[in-house]
Amino acid sequence: MFPGERICFHIAAAWVVRKEGMRLAFIVKKFGGSSVATPAKIMAVARRVLEDTAADDRVVVVVSAMGDTTDELIALAKAVTGNPHGREMDMLLATGEQVTVALLAMAFTSLGRKAVSLTGFQAGIMTNGAHNKAKIAGIAPERVLRELDRGKIVIVAGFQGMTKSGDITTLGRGGSDTTAVALAGAMKADVCEIFTDVDGVYSADPRLVKTARRMREITYNEMLEMARLGAVVMQPRAVEMGKRHGVPIHVRSTFIQLPGTIIREGYTVEEREFIVRGVTHDTNVAKIAVLGVPDRPGVAYRIFSELAEANIDVDMIVQSIRNADKNINDIVFTIAKPDLPVARAIVDKLGQEMSFIGVIAEENVAKVSVVGAGMYGSPGIAAAMFGALGEAGINIEVISTSEISISCLISAEKVQDAVTAIHNRFFREDDDSNL
């Protein structure tokens, strides 16, 4: 039996604790660009924060730039220079969050609550000097803590920091999530709440599978694996930051005032671990089959090192013997769809040099996966997954596994059928236990 195991009803620790009145909550809340896209939405965020918050809670709010602001700033830069990047691009983009924090502080004040906005620098977010994709080197949260002590809601510009030499940096993709989780870690906040347009992490994409369930909890590793395999609810970088600092991350809806999904190290009910937690899919995949590769040392190395030099990530790899007598093999691998033209050119070039029998590229593929920390040492999972696909008449082209996941490459048209079949196998429709 593969259904997920039952777990007690559990929600964000800090949220529960505050409701019980045992002590103050200390919460970092992060709202993304679409939640703060207009002055009206900024007011709504301020109201939402106050609804969730007792007067004595310590609350830090991290926000991104309003709606399309970042794209508009990039367009301005492109009107001036062909390839905007580096230090000046960070100087430019950092203004986006600075606008939001100022407006949100005004919104709180107009609702009668003391608030103060801080840039990344003012909040003590120190980074290395890798402009456009800086890494957080340290956090000096003294000013944030001082403003909290004064009873203020502290609003911090996400996505940005400053180098030791006083230059403004930005953190790249998922930067605001990272700011929020890192700040929560440095200040030992109870929880970091990530508000998004979904209300949590689901056992499968609810747009594909109607019976998909929202999970109450998931481990950092499971979340990272689900993101890697196509379910990007949060940027993996922020999840890794949470894992490193032991910060519980609560993914919840901007619009619905209900608990979402808590990402943390282990489950609050320790005796049981889920076997399968989620079913993911990824259609941003392409396959290259290299037929008749000479079976001698260094050939596979040539293929994959040249792909690596071109900055192409190879995901699944299968090598099979085509003809043992002739010492030739077939190699099949997958890459991200946008990399296909470059990858194809590299393999074709090597094919001429080393006389491959043929190269077949295929865009019309997708990857479906099951993820679960309890999967290791449960060999039946793979069989159950393959069985579900087989019963649904879906052919498996490539298989790969990790400690906490199994993935199958299938035809892209079959994605919905495949995800549904696998989900039905592991999550019984009448069973709400795997939450």
* List of residues contacting a second copy (CB under 8 A): 38-40, 42-43, 73, 76-77, 79-82, 84, 87-89, 91-92, 94-95, 98-99, 101-103, 105-107, 109-110, 116-117, 119, 122, 143, 166-168
Alpha-carbon distance of 147 to 58, in angstroms, equals: 10
Residue positions counted in the chain: 435
Q: Of the two residues 92 and 371, which places its CB atom closer to a second copy in the complex? A: 92
Query: Rounded to an integer, what distance in angstroms lies between the CA atom of residue 268 and that of residue 92?
Result: 44
State in angstroms the smallest separation of the CB of 48 from a second copy.
15
Q: Rank residues 116 and 249 by Cβ distance to a second copy and give the closer one.
A: 116
Nearest approach, Cβ of 121 to a second copy (angstroms)?
8
Nearer to a second copy, 72 or 403 (CB): 72
Kindly tell me which of 91 and 359 has the beta carbon lying closer to a second copy. 91
What is the pairing mode between strands 191-196 and 26-31? Answer: parallel
Pick 42 or 212: Cβ nearer a second copy: 42
**Are residues 434 and 269 in contact, defined by beta-carbon separation less than 8 angstroms?**
no
**What's the closest the beta carbon of residue 421 comes to a second copy, in angstroms?**
49
What torsion do the CA atoms of 68, 73, 79, 82 make, to the nearest 10 degrees?
A: -100
* Shortest separation between residue 92's beta carbon and a second copy, angstroms: 4
User: Helices 175-187 & 142-149, crossing angle to 10 degrees?
Assistant: 70
Give the SS3 label for residue 241. Answer: helix
370 in Cβ contact with 385 (< 8 Å): yes
Q: Shortest CA distance to 203 belongs to which of 391, 419, 381? A: 419
Name the minimum Å distance from CB 159 to a second copy: 14
Nearest partner of 168 among 137, 141, 132, judged by Cα? 132
Q: Which is nearer to a second copy, 94 or 187 (CB)?
A: 94
Least distance from a second copy to the Cβ atom of residue 370, Å = 46
Tokens found for residue 346: 């590299």
Which residue in 355, 380, 343 sits closest to 291, CA to CA? 355
With respect to a second copy, which residue has the nearer C-beta, 117 or 196?
117
CB 330 within 8 A of CB 294: no
CB of 402 to a second copy, least distance (A): 42
Residue 433 and residue 421 in contact, taking contact as beta carbons nearer than 8 Å: no
